[in-house]
């Protein structure tokens, strides 16, 4: 793979509709140079997951994803035996009076193993991006297994053998800090914290994602989003929520004059439910942003 400098990485990400900041560019550059995983933390909705997708698009790499959740197991990440297929194969072979000793070995071959995303990413023969999303939701046993796989570049499956890493893989782990991760995880990864963007960067992001939106509309909505995020809310609006709000205003014809009619807050107030996700949060926004008790 040709070595990319920071300017090339930035240009490729922007072409893939992801507007990075300097910290993101530097971390990606080092991860690609050193072959190290990236641990990305930050509030929900700041683009942690989208970063890995954008890197896959920008670098033309295959993309694999494991979505972690409480109780996820090794089998659900790596793979599991297809017991029904194994039993059916054995039963059909008995009917044909085939040598059973040979069959017992046959049913523990790759043909009878269902590969899940982590193993698929490891044995893929072209450069890949592997997203392990919300690793903080998995338990420490699963996290420890991932460390072994990432550190030793191999995955062992009982009765099947050991699979070696087959490609130049970039592993991205995301965390919302629901629990403390193992020190070993942090030691093996480059660390990146992604916060909510500055208004200036969010305007760039929105314009890249909704190029038809009038500039005055984008600037006004981003300004309101910045004010809303400063409130003590159960869920602060994500970047996606900003995009949704702008697309809602466009769809409802509230900016047919280029957004100038938004000099009044009424249209924004009427559609703010697009970005506010609970009734208590809505009351706070109406009271403190729109100065209304509705």
pLDDT at position 258, please?
A: 55
What's the 3-state SS for 177-214?
CCCCCCHHHHHHCEEEECCCCCHHHHHHHHHHHCCCCC
Bridge partners of 113, per DSSP, are 81
DSSP state of 189: S
Q: Which helix (H) or strand (E) holds 132?
A: strand 128-133
User: Tens digits of per-residue pLDDT, 29-66?
Assistant: 999 999 999 999 999 899 999 999 999 999 999 999 99
Across residues 173-195, what is the average pLDDT? 92
The pair of structure tokens assigned to 169 is 């893989």
d(CA 267, CA 249): 8
Lookup result for tokens 């592997």: 130
Q: What is the pTM of this model?
A: 0.86
pLDDT at position 82, please?
A: 87
User: Tens digits of per-residue pLDDT, 241-251?
Assistant: 999 999 999 98
Of 37-41, 273-277, 290-294, the poorest mean pLDDT is in 290-294
Of 72-86, 99-113, 224-238, the poorest mean pLDDT is in 99-113
Q: Is a pLDDT exceeding 80 seen at residue 98? A: no
Q: Is a pLDDT exceeding 90 seen at residue 252? A: no
d(CA 110, CA 93): 18
27, 38 contact by CB (below 8 A): yes
Q: Between the CA of residue 5 and those of 18, 32, 55, 62, 285, what are the distances in Å?
A: 17, 10, 14, 21, 44
């Amino acid at each position: 793979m040709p070595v990319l400098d920071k300017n090339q990485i930035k240009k490729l990400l922007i072409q893939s509709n992801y507007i990075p900041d300097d910290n993101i560019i530097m971390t990606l550059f080092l991860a690609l140079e050193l072959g190290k995983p990236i641990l990305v933390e930050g509030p929900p909705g700041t683009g942690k997951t989208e970063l890995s997708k954008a890197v896959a698009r920008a670098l033309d790499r295959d993309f694999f994803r494991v979505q972690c959740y409480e109780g996820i197991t090794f089998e659900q990440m790596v793979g599991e035996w297809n017991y029904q297929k194994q039993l059916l194969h054995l039963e059909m072979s008995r009917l044909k009076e085939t040598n059973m000793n040979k069959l017992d070995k046959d049913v523990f071959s790759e043909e009878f193993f269902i590969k899940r995303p982590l193993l698929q990413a490891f044995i893929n023969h072209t450069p890949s991006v592997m997203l392990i999303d919300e690793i903080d939701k998995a338990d420490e046993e699963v996290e420890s297994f991932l460390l072994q796989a990432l550190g030793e570049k191999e995955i062992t499956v009982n009765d099947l053998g050991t699979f070696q890493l087959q490609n130049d893989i970039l592993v991205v782990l995301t965390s919302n800090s629901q629990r403390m991760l193992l020190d070993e995880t942090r030691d093996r990864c480059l660390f990146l914290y992604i916060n909510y963007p500055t208004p200036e960067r969010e305007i760039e992001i929105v314009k890249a994602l909704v190029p038809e939106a009038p500039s005055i509309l984008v600037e006004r909505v981003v300004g309101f989003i910045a004010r809303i995020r400063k409130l003590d809310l159960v869920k602060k609006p994500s970047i996606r929520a900003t995009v949704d709000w702008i697309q809602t205003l466009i769809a409802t014809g509230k900016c047919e004059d280029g957004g100038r009619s938004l000099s009044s807050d009424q249209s924004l107030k009427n559609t703010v439910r697009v970005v506010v996700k609970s009734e208590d949060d809505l009351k706070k926004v109406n009271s403190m942003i729109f100065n209304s008790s509705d």
